[in-house]
Amino acid sequence: MKNKYFSKKWEQFKKELPHQSGEMVKRNWGHNWHSMCSYQGKLKPSIARSLIDTFMPSSKGRILDVFSGVGTIPFEARLLGHTAYGFDISPAAVNISRAKLEVISKNEIQEVINKLSDFIEQNKNSIDYNEHNLIRFNGSIESYFHPETFKEILCARKFFLIKGELNASESLVQSCLLHILHGNRPYALSRKSHPITPFAPTGDFIYSNLVIKLIKKVERVLQNSDGIPDTGSKVFYQDSTKSWPEEVNNLDAIITSPPFYDSTRFYSANWMRLWFSGWEKDDFQTKPKDFVDETQKKSFEIYDNIFKQSQQCLKKDGVFLMHVGKSKKSDMAGQIAKIGSNYLSLIDIFDESVEHCESHGIKDKGTTTHHQYLVFTKD
């Protein structure tokens, strides 16, 4: 690697794998905001921190994640004082990221909750929920909730959809609500399910007051809101294979972890949170066709425009690090390396076994046996 500083730290990363030892190996390592909303396929914060420490300056750098999901990599970068950008096309993921990356106001958050509460009271007895019976994956959506709770959820969904694009404070409230939609503990609005993927519910239909449970979740989140620096970070509802926003430039690094090949289907694993964020029945048939976890099954050429624009947006000697999955079905790193090498200099491909990793109670987590790290630089 031409940059001796990065070269030394990269070799140290490969030797020590800091995210696999000490405090960083713990499931709950990192800032509590990483748990703002459960999300299938989320990168471990300790991996994000280790990679940022390896490839970014000590502070005030500029970094992009082109598959940012719920903002794990950009948020870790923001905590370290960097200007971080994220791209995603999941409306749920974008709003969760916005809450973590952009500046919130506690007063505005309280106003949002008050207005939401009023909206629910004014509309819960007139809301029509028959149309939503068509949404079903592990069961019809109304089967997850007590009927009165479901009315409140439908009102809350409508409240946020009327607003359109949410600001950071609104996004935080919605993110907390997305988190409590389903789970297996008392915080959840649903019958007993799973906090990450809404498996078919079991147990009694017990009424849960949406606003009361939402306030408890928001209060827990805001307990950890102080001391997060304002670095001008931002998330974009953006397809990374299309033209990027002009303000995303002069980057020290692009660090990203795209969906692993033939592993998690993000749209189905996160279906209830996508529904709450605006998807309707037909969207589940059409919009997944644009998700990389689907398009890359046909061809890895979808990454071509990403690397092309990376070459334009990185600083000289800037780094592109891609964290992918290797399985018996696909050597992602080998395939993507051929494409990336047309625009950037390939420095290294490193394999890390993950066959020892926990499953979080989810039986099918794909066939990934190794994490692979591709390192490119801009000459």
**Any idea what the Cα angle at residue 76 is, between residues 182 and 27, rounded to 5°?**
50
Check residue 359 and give its pLDDT.
Answer: 46
What's 96-157 look like in SS3?
HHHHHHCCCCHHHHHHHHHHHHHHHHHHCCCCCCHHHHHCECCCEHHHHCCHHHHHHHHHHH
Q: Which amino acid, 240?
A: S
Check residue 369 and give its pLDDT.
Answer: 73
CATH class entry, domain 4-102+228-377? alpha beta
pLDDT digits (tens), the chain, 379 positions:
455 557 899 999 999 999 999 999 998 999 999 999 999 888 999 999 999 999 999 999 999 999 999 999 999 999 999 999 999 999 999 999 999 999 999 999 999 999 999 999 999 999 887 767 678 888 889 999 999 999 999 999 999 999 999 999 999 999 999 999 999 999 999 999 999 999 999 999 999 999 999 999 999 999 999 999 999 999 999 999 999 999 999 999 999 999 887 666 778 889 999 999 999 999 999 999 999 888 998 899 999 999 999 999 999 999 999 999 887 778 899 999 999 999 999 999 999 987 655 544 434 345 667 899 999 999 9
| Token pair for 357 | 């990793």
Side-chain half-sphere exposure of 319, counting CA atoms within 13 A: 29
Q: For the whole model, what pTM was predicted? A: 0.94
Check residue 5 and give its pLDDT.
Answer: 54
Name 145's Cβ contacts closer than 8 Å, sequence gap at least 6: 153, 189, 190, 191, 205, 208
Are 232 and 295 a contacting pair, CB within 8 Å?
Answer: no
| pLDDT tens digits for range 303-326 | 999 999 999 999 999 999 999 988
Are 257 and 67 a contacting pair, CB within 8 Å?
Answer: yes
Helix axes 168-180, 106-123, angle to 10 degrees: 60
CA 355, CA 207: separation in Å to the nearest integer? 41
Q: Which amino acid, 293?
A: D
CA 341, CA 298: separation in Å to the nearest integer? 20
Find, among 34, 36, 39, the residue nearest to 74 by Cα.
34
Instruction: Sketch the domain layout of the chain as residue ranges.
Output: 4-102+228-377, 106-222
**Gyration radius of the chain's alpha carbons:** 21
| pLDDT tens digits for range 62-73 | 999 999 999 999
Find the helix or strand (DSSP H, E) in which 95 lies: helix 91-101
DSSP 8-class letter at 25: G
β-strand partners of 140: 136
Check residue 357 and give its pLDDT.
Answer: 54
Neighbours of 250 (CB within 10 A): 11
Are 149 and 208 a contacting pair, CB within 8 Å?
Answer: yes
Are 87 and 68 a contacting pair, CB within 8 Å?
Answer: yes
Check residue 363 and give its pLDDT.
Answer: 41
CA 61, CA 173: separation in Å to the nearest integer? 29
Find, among 321, 373, 324, the residue nearest to 349 by Cα.
373
Find, among 95, 92, 93, 87, the residue nearest to 166 by Cα.
95
